[in-house]
Amino acid sequence: MPGFELIGDLERKEVNDVLDNGVFMRYGFDGMRNGHWKAKELEAEIGKQLQSKHVQLVSNGTAAVTVALAASGVGAGDEVIMPTFTFVASFESIMILGGVPVLVDIDDTLGLDPKAVEAAITPKTKAIMVVQMCGSMGRMGELKAIAEKHNLLLIEDACQAIGATYNGKPLGSIGDVGCFSFDFVKTITSAEGGAVITNNEDFYVNADHYTDHGHDHVGNDRGAETHPFLGYNFRISELHAAVGLAQARRLPEFLSIQEKNFMIIREALAEIPEVTFRTVPEGGVENYGFLSFFLPDLETTNKVAAAFKDSGVDACFHYYNNNWHYIRRWDHLKELKSLFPISKEVKDGLAYLKTAEYPQSDDYIARNISCLIKLSWTEEQVKERAAKMVEAIKSSL
Ligand SMILES: *Cc1c(COP(=O)(O)O)cnc(C)c1O
């Protein structure tokens, strides 16, 4: 997945354009910038590649999720359904807006289980947030139908799945708003950065203003702009956008390298009857940033994870004990540890989390290993790695 492996002359050239004129701000300073608008160019590039009418760059992926929610009107007391397997950013973004995260089970796709989603809907539910973990997706057809049936927003956190598609449409463009991260370890990186994409004109205008203190961006004089509503600063800088621009242009190349490396390892593991792969819904195409598979039980999975370590197979994750990605170890969130007071409404809304059990999610995550697919491996290295993985798994069964 990581574009940082292939940083080079293309990124350097874009950054130098910015350094040469010294305009790090994405808005204004027209006279100084010699025609360089890296953030605008990157927005156009992403819009083209992700078939989306509107793109708003932001300072990071967590900001993207926050802005997606804010721009579509999610706020105080609103319940947002999200999966147990995710990144803490989903939870944090809902909380910062005064909403209530409602965690529900995942299924064999490692995405939201449609049945669990439907069962969690209450009169307070405002949005369903799907998180497209490890380069793939949940059952998007069913999830979208549930959102439509109940008149709920569908927010897509596609931070880990840029370039994956469902029925030919890029992930992120299927829901009402899609979110991407360009942090250091994502498929394309801008060092720090993110994007919100949408085909909804109103949500886009909201995102455009909200990310820049409510500035309406009308005219050329920032001092004279009006502020239709409260905003914040979630801006990206021109320097970050410059790195992201070079990387975004290389996305098709990165995806094809990932697919090639992924297939070599997948074919090798498919020889082992005890290994099953994560389900990709019909019509779905992964971005091949990770290879996710299941083993028969927790004990075997623990053994395999240890055997991978011993044989130098790095960048494989067993999320069961991970405290960034899975509810089981989110003690600080279960206990609602916050620097500042949290409203009674949110506290009450989250009371369920202290005792909530997720046996279905536990079962999938306990048996899952997800391995990062790197861009810099030679074919020989991938084959060697695949052989080591097969050996480590067979010796653990
Ligand atoms: C990385 C990531 C984010 C947050 O992105 P940052 O740029 O690191 O803030 C949000 N959601 C998911 C699923 C991610 O993987």
The DSSP line for 129-146 is: EEE-GGG----HHHHHHH
pLDDT tens digit sequence for 265-317: 999 999 999 999 999 999 999 999 999 999 999 999 999 999 999 999 999 99
Q: Which residue has the higher pLDDT, 220 or 341?
A: 341
Of the three residues 230, 250, 270, the one that is the final residue of a domain is: 250
The Cα–Cα gap between 199 and 10 comes to 30
pTM summary value: 0.97
Instruction: Output the pLDDT for position 119.
Output: 98
> Does the annotation count 144 as an active-site position?
no
Q: Out of 38, 126, 144, 186, pick the active-site residue.
A: 186
Instruction: Output the pLDDT for position 1.
Output: 64
User: How many domains does one find in the chain?
Assistant: 2
- 3-class state of residue 85 by DSSP: strand
Tokens of 303: 């053994």
Q: Are residue 120 and residue 263 in the same domain, yes or no? A: no
pLDDT tens digit sequence for 187-242: 999 999 999 999 999 999 999 999 999 999 988 788 888 899 999 999 999 999 99
The answer to whether 214 touches 233, Cβ cutoff 8 Å, is no
Instruction: Output the pLDDT for position 225.
Output: 86
Q: How many CB atoms lie within 10 A of CB 201?
A: 10
- Find the mean pLDDT for residues 180-187: 97
Residue 392: give the domain boundaries.
Answer: 253-396
Instruction: Output the pLDDT for position 3.
Output: 80
Instruction: Output the pLDDT for position 158.
Output: 98
Q: Are residue 59 and residue 205 in the same domain, yes or no? A: yes
What is the position in ligand 1's atom list of the atom closest to the CA of 185? 1
Q: Are residue 194 and residue 301 in the same domain, yes or no? A: no
The Cα–Cα gap between 246 and 195 comes to 15
**CATH code, 353:** 3.90.1150.10
DSSP state of 329: G
Q: Looking at this protein, which amino acid is placed at residue 310?
A: D
Q: How far is CA 295 from the centre of its chain?
A: 25
HSE-CB of 215 using CA atoms within 13 angstroms = 17
DSSP state of 278: P
Q: Are residue 94 and residue 158 in the same domain, yes or no? A: yes
Q: Are residue 115 and residue 259 in the same domain, yes or no? A: no
**CATH code, 27:** 3.40.640.10
Vertex 298: Cα angle to 296 and 304 (nearest 5):
80
The answer to whether 244 touches 189, Cβ cutoff 8 Å, is yes
Instruction: Output the pLDDT for position 152.
Output: 98
Q: Are residue 224 and residue 259 in the same domain, yes or no? A: no
The Cα–Cα gap between 51 and 44 comes to 10
Q: Are residue 225 and residue 316 in the same domain, yes or no? A: no
Of the three residues 250, 271, 304, the one that is the final residue of a domain is: 250
Averaged pLDDT score across all residues of the chain: 96
Instruction: Output the pLDDT for position 131.
Output: 98
Of the three residues 250, 273, 291, the one that is the final residue of a domain is: 250
Q: Are residue 13 and residue 148 in the same domain, yes or no? A: yes
Question: Which residues face 317 on adjacent strands?
Answer: 370
CA distances from 123 to 113, 176, 347 (A): 20, 20, 18
Pairing relationship of beta strands 177-181 and 194-198 according to DSSP bridges: antiparallel
Q: Are residue 329 and residue 266 in the same domain, yes or no? A: yes
What is the position in ligand 1's atom list of the atom closest to the CA of 60? 7
Q: What is the percentage of the chain residues whose pLDDT exceeds 90? A: 94
Residues 6+ apart with CB under 8 A from 135: 1, 160, 161, 164, 258, 286, 287, 288, 289, 290
The Cα–Cα gap between 52 and 57 comes to 13
Q: Are residue 211 and residue 265 in the same domain, yes or no? A: no
- 3-class state of residue 57 by DSSP: strand
Q: Residue 141: pLDDT above 70?
A: yes
Q: Are residue 380 and residue 239 in the same domain, yes or no? A: no
What is the 35 CA–ligand 1 centroid distance (Å)? 31
- Quickly state the pLDDT bin for 326 (edges 50, 70, 90): very high
Instruction: Output the pLDDT for position 382.
Output: 98
Q: How far is CA 214 from the centre of its chain?
A: 25
Ligand 1 cavity residues, CB under 6 Å:
60-62, 65, 86-87, 89, 131, 157, 159-160, 181, 183, 194
Q: Are residue 63 and residue 142 in the same domain, yes or no? A: yes
Q: Residue 323: pLDDT above 90?
A: no
Task: Give the mutation target among 80, 136, 159 for probing the ligand 1 site: most ligand atoms within 8 A of CB.
Answer: 159
- Find the mean pLDDT for residues 47-52: 98
What is the 224 CA–ligand 1 centroid distance (Å)? 35
